[in-house]
Every structure is written in structure tokens, then in C-alpha cells.
């Protein structure tokens, strides 16, 4: 159960998520007033989810941020994406019999998240079809996104390699921040720097991405 002043503080942020798109705020308030909803606070470096410690819940970042990583079997960790205010996590834990979560989510600083339990979501989906429709639309979008990733992995062109790199690290909003110079990125992908620049220009011209300094935004996910 989330206290009323907390609901009021974050109402605009929560209503801007995919789950509550085109719904009345009263639906959200009703959900958050129930026992399956709570707010959690995490210190910097705290593990929010990992393969051995997770809940069947949907989370929404309310304050701060978190990083999503995946262990590479004794070869360090792979950076997957960053979570920011308004981003969601945990959808892969819901409505399935899997007993494992495949990534780690770690708070990058002080972080606050809204947690919605699977049982709460199930009841809400029964009562409000628009919530169900929004969730199905989200999952459909993720399937399309994963299909695009598979296509990029099977390609051998520089553009395909770059597309795969971006899609593998994009957050829920389809955004990724390049933490390395383009010269280093070219080396990481095993391509020439000039070829990488051409691939970036091609993806921008085709409307696949927008680039704002180090930030790249996928336009079709």
C-alpha cells in the first residue's frame, strides 16, 4: 500500500508509463492503495534484482537510476542498459513458471522504485481491460524489438553490427548513451572508424535513429 502523499507526488510520472496510457488516474490510485503496491528505497550499489533474488513484480523507477547487467560466465559482466525515472523493469518475471531472472539490476545512486506485485496486476487486468490491452501492446512491442535484434545478429554488415550493439544496450525508451569514443566503438565492433561513421549516417538518414551527442535514440522499436 502506497501512502496518499507519495501517490500524489509521483502521479504524473506513473501515469506517463505504458501501463497506464489512456487510463483514468483513479484506476492507478485504486491500485496503489492496495497491499500489492509498495515503494522501495535503495542505496547506491544495492542489488534490486539478480538471478537468485527477485520477485514476480513490475517495477517503476521513481527517483534515481539503475543499471542492467548480465554475467558472462566468469568473463566479467555485460552492460545491457540504464534505467531512468519512468522506466520499468521486471516484466520478464510475470505470468510464467520460470524460476530464474536472467540479469542483474543495480542502483547507480540513491534510487526509489514503485513495486507492483503479480497478484495485484492480475486482479487489475481482470477489472480494467485497458490495462490488459496496454500490457499486451508493450509485450508485442518487445517481441518486435527482439526480432529486430535477431536480424541484426545474423547480419554481417557494419550497419548490422552497429544496429545490434545499439539494440542490445537500449533502455526501455529505446535510448542508449555511448560511454566510449567512436574510435573505441569501432574497435569493439571490429570495423573501421570511417565505416562506423558511414553506418551511423545511414541509420540517421533512414530514420532508424536520432543522435544527440553521446545519446542515440532508436526511432522504431
Q: Has this prediction a pTM greater than 0.75?
A: no
Span 88-94, average pLDDT: 89
- Give pLDDT, residue 154: 61
The answer to whether 218 and 212 are in contact (CB under 8 A) is no
pLDDT value at 112 more than 60: yes
Query: Please, what's the b/e burial string for 2-17 (b: 16 or more CB within 10 A of its CB; e: otherwise)?
Result: beeeebeebeeebbeb
Residues listed for the chain: 221
Query: Please, what's the b/e burial string for 20-56 (b: 16 or more CB within 10 A of its CB; e: otherwise)?
Result: beeeeeebbeebbeeebbbbeebeeeeebbeeeebeb
Q: Which domains does the chain have, with CATH numbers?
A: 4-128 (2.60.120.10), 155-218 (1.10.10.10)
| Strands 175-177 and 215-218, sheet pairing | antiparallel
Closest to 45 (Cα-Cα) out of 100, 115, 113, 111: 111
The mean predicted confidence, pLDDT, of the chain is 89
pLDDT value at 143 more than 90: no
Confidence band (pLDDT; 50, 70, 90) for 189?
confident
Span 160-182, average pLDDT: 85
Span 97-107, average pLDDT: 84
Confidence band (pLDDT; 50, 70, 90) for 220?
low
Q: Over the stretch 32-80, which tens digit does the pLDDT of each residue have?
A: 999 999 999 999 999 999 887 878 999 999 999 999 888 776 667 777 7
- Give pLDDT, residue 117: 97
Q: How buried is residue 136: exposed, middle or buried, by Cβ count under 10 Å (0-12/13-18/19+)?
A: exposed
Based on C-alpha coordinates, what's the Rg of the chain?
A: 19
Amino acid at each position: 500500500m502506497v501512502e496518499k502523499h507519495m501517490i500524489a507526488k509521483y502521479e504524473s510520472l506513473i501515469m506517463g508509463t505504458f501501463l497506464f496510457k489512456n487510463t483514468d488516474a483513479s484506476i492507478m490510485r485504486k491500485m496503489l492503495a492496495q497491499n500489492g503496491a509498495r515503494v522501495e528505497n535503495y542505496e547506491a550499489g544495492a542489488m534490486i534484482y539478480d538471478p537468485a533474488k527477485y520477485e514476480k513484480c513490475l517495477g517503476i523507477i521513481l527517483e534515481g537510476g539503475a543499471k542492467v547487467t548480465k554475467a558472462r560466465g566468469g568473463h566479467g559482466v555485460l552492460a545491457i542498459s540504464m534505467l531512468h525515472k519512468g522506466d520499468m523493469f521486471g516484466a520478464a518475471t510475470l505470468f510464467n513458471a520460470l524460476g530464474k531472472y536472467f540479469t542483474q539490476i543495480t542502483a547507480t545512486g540513491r534510487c526509489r522504485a514503485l513495486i507492483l506485485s503479480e497478484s495485484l496486476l492480475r486482479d487489475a487486468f481482470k477489472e480494467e481491460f485497458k490495462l490488459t490491452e496496454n500490457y499486451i501492446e508493450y509485450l508485442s512491442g518487445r517481441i518486435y524489438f527482439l526480432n529486430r535484434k535477431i536480424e541484426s545478429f545474423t547480419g554481417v554488415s557494419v550497419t548490422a553490427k552497429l544496429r545490434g550493439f545499439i539494440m542490445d544496450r537500449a533502455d526501455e525508451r529505446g535510448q542508449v548513451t555511448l560511454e566510449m569514443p567512436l574510435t573505441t566503438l569501432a574497435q569493439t565492433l571490429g570495423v573501421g572508424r570511417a565505416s562506423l561513421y558511414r553506418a551511423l549516417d545511414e541509420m540517421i538518414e533512414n530514420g532508424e535513429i536520432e543522435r544527440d551527442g553521446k545519446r542515440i535514440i532508436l526511432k522504431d522499436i
